[in-house]
């Protein structure tokens, strides 16, 4: 088996790359370990808590015990299915803030500033405003990735945005447009009642072309001869074989599996590779380092009126939702239920939002277990730019073994200050008049938790990953010893090899990572095709005029 371009991973970035290379007439082969995404648990937006807890669709990775979270091991789902994590995620679409990308460019990822990436976000999007307003000039309208907004019929969903305004924050009709900061409607990768994953948007259309094929296999390592990547060793059952790449190998296997694959191939920190008996091809100390994620808390409030989704949290309710969705692709099953968002700054002197809210009109954990109190609502909240850094390392030289993952969450003292602030600011929003008709007691942390020590104990026991790992194959300048890929996504020190997925983010972006991961695939495709990048955009994003003196 061989192709000109061999892509490892049919996830968010890999699907986009395959589509653009196939469209350009190139001969492409994609290696994916996971199987089909056809099941209703993936396709029905409201069922999102199921696929990320199913062995069939998830790699089943866990962190090592986290020293600052009481030794808890946190689950870190990654999609083992076509579409990758875009097939098991919450479907929330957030580009990130303009300043995130300017920071990338300023730290060595030249050509990846906001002006450079905005045209790629527009190219990939097919945005439907759904009558909720927005910034059409800032959005794309004919790309492969359909983006819609939920119906926002639940009164709590609207109350959350109103409460943000009453607390003195900005309102924004389109946080993916000119102004991210503020409260407003969420965008989602949902179309005609279905999850619109990277498999739906990019992979299926690509596979209709004769020059693009998908093969199910586990990538074991990249074959490198005389400093050049020439293929990928894969296993299918008991059989090990090599898929040859005539031009390039592109790794898009996630922020957890891409560094693992590089290290198994001899690219990484030399001493660590030697510990596992792996011959060093390129000593890149940055491989597996710089691991980042978003951590979040669920602030839960009891509801005094039965307006929450808890009314459907029983067999009959779920059956009704499922039946309506199966028959007509409408009703509650057709929304991820995350329909209101907030992006705010934690304090004066922070120049752009560093706290994100996801509002949900039910009190429920990510694994689908509801609060014992019954009716309630919650905000998922957490800081966006923690200074804590972790690492992904090899557990062994066996390609079947999961990597070791140590996020090192909450290792920076500022994290504790920021998280306490998140809790107190959320409480203030829930205390606004917009919630007066619905607000019962606080379920968690609970009204008794007021001191810093109380809140710290709650954070230690209850902080959860938002499932946004990134940064482990950092993109940067060629002379940066910790950079793994250059600004063209080429692995430094090896010919014919690239990495393009969330692992190359120099720093985590503001919000959910699916959109910037797909953007990385779109832009990397132009570099692979040696095309001139799309011309930079001159749009100036909104910044709070008084950010130095004012928190809101």
Is residue 81 part of an annotated ligand binding site?
A: yes
Q: Look at residue 333 in the predicted model and tell me its pLDDT.
A: 96
CA 464/CA 75 separation, integer angstroms: 9
* Distance of alpha carbon 307 from alpha carbon 305, whole angstroms: 6
pLDDT for the residue numbered 46: 95
Please state, rounded to an integer, the average pLDDT across all residues of the chain.
Answer: 97
pTM for the model stands at 0.98
Averaged pLDDT, 3-13:
98
**For 461-481, how does the pLDDT look when each residue is reduced to its tens digit (9 = 90+)?**
999 999 999 999 999 999 999
For residues 16 and 398, give the distance between their C-alpha atoms in angstroms, rounded to a whole number. Answer: 29
Cβ atoms of residues 501 and 14 within 8 Å:
yes
pLDDT tens-digit profile of 484-532? 999 999 999 999 999 999 999 999 999 999 999 999 999 999 999 999 9
Residue 307 near residue 154, CB atoms below 8 Å:
yes
Confidence band of 316 (pLDDT split at 50, 70, 90): very high
Q: How confident is the model at residue 132 (pLDDT cuts 50, 70, 90)?
A: confident
Catalytic one of 462, 468, 527, 544: 468
Residue 171: pLDDT band (50, 70, 90) is very high
| Residue 294 known to be catalytic | no
Which residues lie below 8 Å from residue 540, measured CB to CB, with a gap of 6+? none
> What mean pLDDT is predicted for residues 265-275?
98
The pLDDT value given to residue 212: 98
With cut-offs at 50, 70 and 90, classify the pLDDT of residue 371.
Answer: confident
With residue 422 as reference, give the H or E element that holds it: helix 413-430
Q: Which of 37-46, 73-82, 126-135 has the lowest mean pLDDT?
A: 126-135
Burial class of residue 8 in the structure, from the number of CB atoms within 10 Å of its CB (0-12 exposed, 13-18 middle, 19+ buried): buried
Triad 359, 117, 546: Cα angle to 5°:
60
| CA contacts within 13 A on the Cβ side of 477 | 6
Write down all domains in the chain, each with its CATH number in brackets: 1-127+193-287+472-540 (3.50.50.60), 157-186+292-388+411-462 (3.30.410.40)
**412-421 mean pLDDT:** 98
Say how far apart CA 229 and CA 225 lie, in whole Å.
6
Confidence of residue 354 (pLDDT cuts 50, 70, 90): very high
Instruction: Give, to the nearest 10 degrees, the angle between helix 12-23 and helix 514-528.
Output: 30
Angle at 524 (CA atoms; ends 521, 526), nearest 5 degrees: 115
Average pLDDT over residues 185-194: 97
């Amino acid at each position: 088996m061989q192709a000109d371009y061999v892509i490892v991973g049919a996830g968010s970035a890999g699907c986009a790359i395959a589509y653009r290379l196939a469209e350009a007439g190139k001969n492409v082969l994609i290696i994916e370990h996971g199987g089909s995404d056809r099941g209703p648990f993936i396709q029905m937006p409201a069922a999102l808590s199921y696929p990320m807890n199913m062995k069939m669709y998830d790699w089943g990775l866990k962190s090592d015990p986290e020293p600052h979270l009481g030794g808890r091991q946190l689950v870190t789902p990654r999609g083992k299915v076509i579409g990758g994590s875009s097939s098991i995620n919450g479907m929330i679409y957030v580009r990130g803030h303009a300043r995130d990308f300017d920071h990338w460019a300023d730290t060595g990822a030249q050509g990846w500033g906001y002006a450079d990436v905005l045209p790629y976000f527009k190219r990939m999007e097919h945005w439907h405003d759904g009558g909720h307003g927005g910034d059409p000039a800032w959005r794309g309208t004919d790309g492969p990735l359909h983006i819609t907004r939920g119906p926002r019929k639940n009164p709590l969903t609207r109350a959350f945005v109103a409460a943000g305004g009453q607390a003195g924050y900005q309102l924004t009709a389109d946080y993916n447009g000119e102004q991210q900061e503020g409260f407003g409607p969420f965008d989602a990768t949902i179309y005609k009642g279905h999850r619109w994953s990277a498999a739906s948007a990019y992979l299926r259309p690509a596979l209709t072309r004769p020059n693009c094929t998908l093969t199910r296999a586990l990538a074991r390592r990249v074959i490198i001869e005389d400093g050049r990547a020439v293929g990928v060793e894969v296993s299918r059952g008991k059989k090990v074989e090599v898929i040859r790449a005539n031009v390039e190998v592109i790794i898009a296997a996630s922020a957890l599996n891409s560094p693992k694959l590089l290290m198994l191939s001899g690219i990484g920190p030399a001493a660590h590779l030697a510990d596992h008996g792996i011959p060093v091809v390129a000593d890149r100390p940055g491989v597996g380092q710089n691991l980042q994620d978003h951590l979040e808390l669920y602030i839960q409030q009891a509801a005094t009126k039965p307006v929450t989704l808890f009314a459907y949290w029983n067999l009959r309710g779920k059956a009704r939702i499922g039946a309506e969705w199966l028959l007509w692709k409408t009703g509650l099953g057709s929304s991820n239920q995350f329909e209101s968002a907030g992006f705010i700054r934690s304090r004066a002197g922070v120049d752009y939002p560093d706290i994100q809210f996801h509002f949900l009109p039910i009190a429920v954990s990510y694994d689908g277990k509801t609060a014992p109190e019954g009716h309630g609502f919650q905000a998922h909240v957490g800081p966006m730019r923690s200074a804590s850094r972790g690492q992904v390392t090899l557990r062994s030289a066996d390609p079947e073994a999961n990597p070791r993952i140590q996020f090192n969450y909450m290792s920076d003292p500022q994290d504790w200050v920021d998280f306490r602030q998140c809790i107190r600011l959320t409480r203030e929003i829930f205390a606004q008049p917009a919630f007066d008709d619905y607000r019962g007691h606080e379920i968690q942390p609970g009204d008794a938790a007021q001191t810093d020590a109380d809140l710290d104990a709650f954070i230690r026991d209850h902080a959860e990953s938002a499932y946004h790992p990134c940064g482990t194959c950092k993109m940067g300048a060629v002379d940066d010893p910790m950079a793994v890929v250059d600004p063209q996504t080429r692995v430094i020190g090896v010919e014919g090899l690239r990495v393009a997925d969330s692992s190359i983010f120099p720093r985590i972006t503001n919000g959910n990572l699916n959109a910037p991961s797909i953007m990385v695939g779109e832009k990397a495709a132009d570099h692979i095709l040696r095309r001139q990048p799309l011309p930079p955009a001159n749009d100036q994003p909104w910044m709070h005029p008084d950010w130095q003196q004012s928190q809101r």
